[in-house]
Structure 1
Amino acid sequence: MSLFGKVEGDVEIKASAEKFHEVFSGRPHHVSNVCPDKVQGCALHEGDWGNEGSVIYWDYVHDGQAKVAKERIEAIDDTNKSITFKVIEGDLLQEYKSFRIVVRATPKGEGSLVHWSLEYEKLKEDVPEPKTLLQFLIDVSKDIGTHLTA
């Protein structure tokens, strides 16, 4: 059994790919205003909002528990509306040796299709796949989509 894995999921939202991408690339601190039940805070730890290499600190509730994550923005692709985050500290690294999150928004009809990809290496074989985290990110995407079209 491999310790490396990847889970992926999609969600359709009514907001444009450009607007959704702008939230995660340049204004992730607004996510806590949009869905405060899921994300309690997002702070810039290093660098500048919207720049590769910047470090963001997240406070969130996942599976009913308060958690934290510190992520470095590895890549922002404005053409393909994608952002790559690498988790460098926090709760996820108690179970995973490495964790990378890629989110991409693609125009679809009047809205967009948001694709999440979670790539990871488990510390042990019995660590579950991060499927509930994937669902959490899909739910956050729905909240953002609703907020952007309200």
Structure 2
Amino acid sequence: MSLCGKMEAEIEMKAPADKVFEFYTCLAYQMSKSSPEMLQSVDLQEGQWGKKGSILCWNYLIDGKVEKIKMITEEIDYRNKSATYKTIEGDLLEFYKSFRFILQVTPREEGSLVHWSFEYEKLNANIPNPETTLPAVVHACKDIDAHLTQAKTQRSPQLQ
């Protein structure tokens, strides 16, 4: 049995791809306003929002429990609207040797398509797949879409 796994989800968004990608990469600190029941805070620990090498600390709820994760932005591609985040500290690493979040936002005729991939390696064969993490991310995406299509968000200096 392989200890490595991958989970994926696609979420149709009404908000345009540029706005969605900007929100996830440069304005993530606003996420707690858009999905307060899932995301408590996103803080920049080091570097700059939306830049490779930046370190972000997330406080979120999974199954009613507050969890934390610290991630480094490994890759960010504004042209292709993709980003890769590697977990470097936090609750997920109690169960997984490695955990990456990969974001791809694709423009559509109306709105956009958000594709999340989780790539992970379990510490041992008894560890379950991250079954609760993916639905939480999908739920937060839907909240974020509602926020982006109903409210005006502050524009990032990188994208102005």
Partners of 2:120 and 2:112 in 1: CA distance: 26
Report deviation, 1:36: 1.0
The alignment status of 1:85 with 2:69, answered yes or no, reads no
Distance 1:119 1:77 in 2: 19
Cα offset, 1:131, TM superposition: 2.4
Q: Does 1:117 align with 2:117?
A: yes
Which one has a larger percent strand, Structure 1 or Structure 2?
Answer: 1
Secondary structure of 1:142's match? helix
Conserved in 2, the CA contact under 8 Å of 1:9 and 1:116? yes
Question: Which whole-Å deviations, capped at 9, do the CAs of 1:38-59 have from their partners, x for residues lacking one?
Answer: 1111111111111110000011
Q: Aligned residue for 1:142?
A: 142
The residue aligned with 2:106 is: 106
SS at match of 2:61: strand
Alpha-carbon deviation of 1:132? 1.6
CA distance in 2, matches of 1:11, 1:67: 23
Moved more, 28-37 or 93-102: 28-37
**Matched position secondary structure for 1:136:** helix
1:46-95 Cα offsets, whole Å, 9 max, x none, are 11111110000011001211000000001111111111100000000000
- Which runs of at least 4 in structure 1 moved beyond 3 Å after TM superposition? none
In structure 1, what is the Cα distance between the partners aligned to 2:109 and 2:136? 24
The answer for unaligned runs of 5 or more in structure 2 is 151-160
Of the structure 1 ranges 105-114 and 68-77, higher mean CA displacement relative to structure 2 is found in 105-114
* Mapped partners of 1:15, 1:37: distance in 2: 21
1:52 lines up with 2:52 in the alignment: yes
SS at match of 2:50: coil
**Partner in structure 1 of residue 40 of structure 2:** 40
1:13 corresponds in structure 2 to 13
Please give the secondary structure, in 1, of the residue aligned with 2:12. strand
Work out whether 1:30 is the aligned partner of 2:30.
Answer: yes
Identity across matched positions, percent: 47
Q: For residue 7 of structure 1, report the CA deviation from its aligned partner.
A: 0.5
Q: SS where residue 29 of structure 1 aligns?
A: helix
Q: Which residue is equivalent to 1:130? A: 130
Aligned letter for 1:146?
A
C-alpha separation between the residues in 2 aligned to 1:114 and 1:130? Answer: 19
Unmatched 5+ stretches in structure 1: none
Q: Distance in 2 between matches of 1:16 and 1:130?
A: 29
Work out the number of aligned pairs and report it.
150
RMSD of equivalent CA atoms: 0.8
The equivalent residue for 2:63 is 63
